[in-house]
Structure 1
Amino acid sequence: MTLLQVNNVSHRYKSRSFFKKESHSREVLSDISFSIEKGTCLGLLGTSGAGKSTLGKVILGLEQPEHGEVLFQGQNLYKADKKIHQQIRRDLQVVFQDSYSSVNPRLTAERIIAEPLENYESLTIAQQKKAVIELLERVGLSENDLKKYPHQFSGGQLQRINIARAIALKPKLIVLDEAVSSLDMVTQTLILELLQGLKEDFQLSYLFITHDIKAAYTISDRIGVLEKGKLVQQYDSKHEFFTSEHSAVKEMRSSILAEHPRFRSIGTKEKAYAHA
């Protein structure tokens, strides 16, 4: 079942010179099409400036593209009526890169996680607290963390809270926008393991937007490569990605540093990573 369908999306940013009246436009997305099936993860790889963040905003309904359409569960994201759009917002969630700016620093973990429940569910205070505790425990935290504020958590712990909030309504799709890139390697691994477990337990689908090949390789079922606003390649398996001869993909692979020093000679990085 196709959950998300992006059809021929293109977008430009317009800017006006301070001294001149004429405006200029810069194309950031060009004729992008892809789909995500239920229960799968599409890793979207791209370097800085490739258009990843803009595409994420388009898919989340935060920025309407100049051309093309985004269909979520068969509904056009930008033509849906209020009732359908509300359902889309329930089923489509996001976890951003910066875990601290994604939360209100004045709210406790309990209030942060409870926010979507308050907006969409009719629960008693006791039911809501029980649900929040279960969500905290599911992401590796505990009831003892209920009354803590964001500054009392590490970056990894706070990202777990953001993930708990994202899964609170049992969504169909979560957009993970560089969700692990600001974390250290050990914490990255733990969060990726958590995301993989949640995906299997709740039959979640992910759009995993990242510049990190290793992270994409770890969690993705399929991989797409974004370069200068264009989706230049899509791969149905990790093997296809790591054996691709496309120049952009080869450049990405060449930047991988093997985890073990004995693999760190030229020409062995890809082989080393494929066995990591």
Structure 2
Amino acid sequence: MKQTVLVEVKNLKKYFPIKGGILKRTIGHIKAVDDVSFTMYKGETLGIVGESGSGKSTMGRTMIRLYEPTEGEVFFEGDNLFKYSRKEMRRVRKGMQMVFQDPFASLNPRMTIAELIEEPMVVHKLYDRSERNEKVKELLNKVGLQAEYGSLYPHEFSGGQRQRVGLARALSINPKLIIADEPVSALDVSVQAQVINLMKDLQDEFELTYLFIAHDLSVVKHLSDRVGVMYLGRLVELANKKDLYSGPVHPYTQALLSAVPVPNPRLKKERIILEGDIPSPANPPSGCVFHPRCKYATDRCRVEKPLWREIAKDHYVACHLVD
């Protein structure tokens, strides 16, 4: 069965300027996202993992132009999002929503829960007032909250409840794509499971496509269909979760997966300890950005950037070792 492409990212770059001197001239760039390409299919969950500072969140925000891109293209249902003006993007963004890591920071504390969920519908001129009120009650029910909670304020809720409000708000304008930026990392483990299961249920009911950004590989494995691994602004491996977790190819992916706890005290697992720290994205290494921490690095790795290519069906990797 052929999958329908919803999103196509081509050579996406996002550099932040570094200012210096009395005149605050640009003296360099932080290469937060550096030449990333991938495709997302309708109805799937694509998990993106990597250490802090790898560019995961910046990539998600740049895709829907919360950050303006430096280079590259993002196609949503065949349309290049980067050709639209800011005014036109408001209309186009109706099909894409974002759920943030800290729900308290993303919810206006002066607005009630009902007002927060209704606001996107008002902005996009959807429904009349009575229909919006009914929609708010329906969405609260869908995310496991009582309709009466609509009159309360964000500070009166727990972290898990606020994240449910964030999901209801994202769903209020019937999006096709939701970018979830570490939506459960600030929650207790038991609450994480509830929110993840809720996201799976909502995905089935509303036919959603998720870009799920996280650093917890166990959570990503539970929710995702395919998983991409980022390091220092670049994708280094992308495959369906079964292939990635059972046979990681890139040395960085192997190191990450070796750190995932195994729920069996008798089963011993060899840890791969990475040497050194992540290099600065303001001055990334030449060639393969992972080579300073890779025990397999050769002279070629130090000077030549590996190509992003398919090594097996739907299994992509950027590494000279697979040549």
In the aligned structure 2, how far is the partner of 1:121 from the partner of 1:66? 32
Flag as ranges the 4+ runs of structure 1 deviating above 4 A: 18-22, 81-84
SS of the residue corresponding to residue 253 of structure 2 reads helix
TM (normalized to structure 2)? Answer: 0.78
Shift of the alpha carbon at 1:117?
1.4
Task: Pick one of 99, 103, 109 that aligns with 2:103.
Answer: 99
Matched, 1:245 2:249: yes
SS of the residue corresponding to residue 185 of structure 2 reads coil
Matched, 1:10 2:6: no
Task: Pick one of 28, 32, 38 that aligns with 1:28.
Answer: 32
Matched, 1:198 2:202: yes
On the 8 A contact 2:160/2:191 being kept in 1, the answer is yes
Please name the residue that 2:227 is paired with: 223
Structure label with greater radius of gyration: 2
Q: Which blocks of at least 5 consecutive residues in structure 1 are unaligned?
A: 269-276
On the 8 A contact 1:45/1:209 being kept in 2, the answer is yes
Shift of the alpha carbon at 1:146?
1.1
SS of the residue corresponding to residue 36 of structure 2 reads strand
Please name the residue that 2:310 is paired with: none
In the aligned structure 1, how far is the partner of 2:159 from the partner of 2:28? 39
SS of the residue corresponding to residue 176 of structure 1 reads strand
In the aligned structure 2, how far is the partner of 1:204 from the partner of 1:123? 21
In the aligned structure 2, how far is the partner of 1:69 from the partner of 1:259? 42
In the aligned structure 1, how far is the partner of 2:88 from the partner of 2:42? 19
Query: Comparing 66-75 with 231-240, which one deviates more in the overlay?
Result: 231-240
Q: Deviations over 1:38-66 (max 9, x none)?
A: 11111011111111121112112122222
Matched, 1:234 2:238: yes
On the 8 A contact 2:238/2:244 being kept in 1, the answer is no
In the aligned structure 2, how far is the partner of 1:22 from the partner of 1:169? 40
On the 8 A contact 1:72/1:88 being kept in 2, the answer is no
Kindly report the root-mean-square deviation, in angstroms, between the aligned alpha carbons of the 2 structures.
2.0
SS of the residue corresponding to residue 78 of structure 1 reads helix
Please name the residue that 2:283 is paired with: none
Q: Which blocks of at least 5 consecutive residues in structure 2 are unaligned?
A: 272-323
Q: Deviations over 1:223-256 (max 9, x none)?
A: 1110111101110233333321321111111211
Cα distance change, pair 64–82 in 1 and its aligned pair in 2 (3 A): closer
Task: Pick one of 145, 154, 167 that aligns with 2:149.
Answer: 145
In the aligned structure 2, how far is the partner of 1:191 from the partner of 1:82? 32
On the 8 A contact 2:10/2:36 being kept in 1, the answer is yes
In the aligned structure 2, how far is the partner of 1:237 from the partner of 1:259? 19
Please name the residue that 2:216 is paired with: 212
On the 8 A contact 1:242/1:253 being kept in 2, the answer is no
Q: Show the 5 A alignment for 1:1-276.
A: 1-18=4-21, 23-81=27-85, 85-263=89-267, 265-267=268-270
Cα distance change, pair 169–30 in 1 and its aligned pair in 2 (3 A): same
On the 8 A contact 1:235/1:241 being kept in 2, the answer is no
Please name the residue that 1:272 is paired with: none
Cα distance change, pair 231–73 in 1 and its aligned pair in 2 (3 A): same
Point out which structure has higher relative CO (alpha carbons under 8 A, 6+ apart). 1
In the aligned structure 2, how far is the partner of 1:41 from the partner of 1:250? 22
In the aligned structure 2, how far is the partner of 1:122 from the partner of 1:185? 36
Number of corresponding residues? 268
Identity, % of aligned positions? 37
